[in-house]
Copies of this chain bind each other. A is one copy, B any other.
Amino acid sequence: MSNNSVFIEKLRSSGLRPTRQRLQICKLLFDRQNTFHFSIQGLSKMIVNQHKEKKVSLATVYNTINAFKQKGYLKEISINSDKTYFDTNTSNHHHFFNESTNELIDLDNSEVGKIDIRKKIPGKKINSIEVIVKIANSN
């Protein structure tokens, strides 16, 4: 458990004042050992499960997550039209998507060989290269 000031700074640098609600969200996301993937729905449930004095409205959850995304503290991952996931791992990396469980698993950049894009698009620059490996139970 890090010092509160870390999270306060994270909010401030995202253009948000550190309020009770925002701090709760911020700690849920970043006060932990390992990065993780979540949906807004899942995050909302986590908030409810913490049984704090007051609830946090969905609007505040969305606003806070969007501010973090904007600032680059979160990545958004689109797997299919129905689900949007966010990732507290903002490093350059890829994903397995388990279609049986709807779970995301990180695929570190070092766990994928160099991706060789041989087609050029003149006048355009590459912003990102993302690999999604869809998996399922093998039996």
Contact = CB atoms under 8 A, between A and B. Distances in A.
A31 B59 CA distance: 46
A133 interface: yes
Interface residues of A, number: 39
Contact of A131 (B76, B115, B121, B134): B115
Interface stretch (A1-9, A21-29, A43-51, A77-85): A77-85
Interface string A100-139: 0000010110011111111101011111111111111111
A98 interface: yes
Contacts of A139: 123
A96 interface: yes
A81 to B, nearest CB: 4
Contact of A135 (B99, B116, B126, B133): B126
Contacts of A112: 115-118
Contacts of A79: 78
A135 to B, nearest CB: 4
A127 B118 contact: no
Interface of A: 76, 78-81, 84, 96, 98-99, 105, 107-108, 111-119, 121, 123-139
